[in-house]
Amino acid sequence: MKKLTRRPLSPLALLAVGALAVAVAAAGCGGSSNESTTTSASGGGGSGGGKIQVCVLLPDTTSSVRYELFDRPYLASAFKAANIKFSILNALGDAQKQRSQGDQCLTNGAKVVLLDALDSGTGAAIEKAVDAKGGKSIDYDRLVLNGKASYYVSFDNVVVGKTMGKGLVDALKANGKYSQKPVISRLDGGITDNNATLFKQGYDSVLDPLFKKGTFVEAKSGDQFTDWDAQKAATIFEQMLAANNNKIDGSIAANDNLAGAVVSVLKSHKLKPIPLTGQDATPQGVQNILSGWQSGTVYKAVKEEADAAAKVAIDIIKGNTVKTNATANNKVRDVPSVFLTPVWITKKNYTILFKDKYLKKSQVCTGQYAKFCK
């Protein structure tokens, strides 16, 4: 990379570089992220077109670091343990690539496609092709609207949003701003991501009544979708601050990447921390919590979700009865679902993440953050 200047990077530039570094690092975890990783329990196979039973389609490495750091290895481990031949592919944010990867799954013999779709249009097209070949689709983490999935495995995403909303309210009460008509902004996820819509439904159900009663004040231009893009979120939050004379007292950020953008902008303006939500329990998110810049994050135990999804796929392959505990309407029908429960992580309980081996203490308690750790 050509060095253009020796001047220090601005906080926003640092944010962009950091996001790129995360994406590159994530792409390097667990094998190539844009090529098939086909493995059997005995370690055979390879990416060269061998027959498989299950194919996993992951969306990207930018909306969250979870897909390569966690979902890939957990799913691979579950399928290996069950002696199921599988392939895991990542579309790297390219909808056409994900569509082509779906075709590749079918060419390689997959009878079950576990799909975390980039968007519902792409997902529905993939599921239609799977259905035409007599296969079964499982919506993983994101529900595909108008799709043909046989099952859906996820956390209850409305509950995820409610958890963020309640976390923000608790933080405003803790810092004394709750009773002072705090100005609140919202940085939503991706407008084409049904999960983001459900998260928003959840936290809006907590916040909207408070706006209506006048307990909270909605920030001017203060509710915007970000496409899960931290750099875009930083620009939007800059504009929100300008529109509100730098007075924003609390903010919903739909995940830790977006929360990191808010933190970066606040620091660049030499403003104090505000109550701020997150999601995914990333190392950066936990560091921001420990250092007082983020109030909490939603922990969705990816291993629990991956194991549940893998079990559904394995039961289909082996002809076992699939056990579900809910349904989710995809605008065509009610899809039998397995819903899991999220946990709100704060300074008080963050060590759960280490006990669950979701994060390593060395990922969080390092450098300037070591002094905050128990």
Task: For residue 50, name the pLDDT band (cuts at 50, 70, 90).
Answer: low
Phi, psi dihedral angles at 216 (to 5 degrees): -115, 155
In a domain, 335, yes or no: yes
* Mean pLDDT over each residue of the chain, to the nearest integer: 89
CATH code: domain of residue 257: 3.40.50.2300
In a domain, 6, yes or no: no
Instruction: Tell me 273's DSSP state.
Output: P
Q: Are residues 165 and 296 in the same domain?
A: yes
For range 292-308, the mean pLDDT? 96
Which two tokens mark 124? Answer: 């529905």
Phi, psi dihedral angles at 28 (to 5 degrees): -90, -5
Task: For residue 62, name the pLDDT band (cuts at 50, 70, 90).
Answer: confident
For residue range 262-281, list pLDDT tens digits in order: 999 999 999 999 999 999 99
Between CA 83 and CA 87, with CA 86 as vertex, the angle to 5 degrees is 155
What whole-number percentage of the chain has pLDDT above 70? 87
Q: Are residues 174 and 252 in the same domain?
A: yes
| C-alpha distances in Å from residue 104, one per residue of 3, 149, 215, 256 | 40, 18, 53, 33
For residue range 185-241, list pLDDT tens digits in order: 999 999 989 899 999 999 999 999 999 999 999 999 999 999 999 999 999 999 999
For range 58-71, the mean pLDDT? 89
What was the pLDDT predicted at 90? 98
In a domain, 317, yes or no: yes
Rounded-to-10 torsion of CA 53, 139, 302, 263: 140
Task: For residue 256, name the pLDDT band (cuts at 50, 70, 90).
Answer: very high
Q: Are residues 281 and 170 in the same domain?
A: yes
Cβ atoms 14, 261 nearer than 8 A: no
Q: Are residues 145 and 195 in the same domain?
A: no
Question: Does 23 have pLDDT greater than 60?
Answer: no
Which two tokens mark 122? Answer: 């792409």
What was the pLDDT predicted at 333? 96
What was the pLDDT predicted at 159? 96
In a domain, 21, yes or no: yes
Q: Are residues 223 and 278 in the same domain?
A: yes
Q: Are residues 331 and 354 in the same domain?
A: no
Q: Are residues 122 and 66 in the same domain?
A: yes
> What is the total count of domains within the chain?
2
Q: Are residues 45 and 120 in the same domain?
A: yes
What was the pLDDT predicted at 37? 42
Q: Are residues 296 and 234 in the same domain?
A: yes
Cβ atoms 26, 73 nearer than 8 A: no
Q: Are residues 15 and 110 in the same domain?
A: yes
CA 131 to chain centre: 27
Longest dimension (CA), the chain: 63
In a domain, 3, yes or no: no
For residue range 99-148, list pLDDT tens digits in order: 999 999 999 999 999 999 999 999 999 999 999 999 999 999 999 999 99
For range 38-53, the mean pLDDT? 49
Q: How many other CB atoms sit within 10 Å of the CB of residue 181?
A: 12
Q: Are residues 128 and 165 in the same domain?
A: no
In a domain, 231, yes or no: yes
In a domain, 259, yes or no: yes
What was the pLDDT predicted at 66? 85
Question: Does 46 have pLDDT greater than 70?
Answer: no
Sign of the dihedral through C-alpha 78, 62, 254, 275: positive
Residue 43 or residue 170, greater confidence: 170
Instruction: Quote the CA–CA distance of 223 and 264 in Å, as a whole number.
Output: 19
pTM here is 0.76
| C-alpha distances in Å from residue 331, one per residue of 120, 195, 203, 328, 338 | 11, 14, 22, 9, 18
Q: Are residues 27 and 70 in the same domain?
A: yes
Residue 2: CB partners within 8 Å, gap ≥ 6? none
CA 142 to chain centre: 10
Instruction: Quote the CA–CA distance of 293 and 265 in Å, as a whole number.
Output: 12
In a domain, 1, yes or no: no
Instruction: Quote the CA–CA distance of 240 and 180 in Å, as a whole number.
Output: 20
Which structural domain range is residue 61 located in?
Answer: 11-149+301-340
For residue range 150-166, list pLDDT tens digits in order: 999 999 999 999 999 99
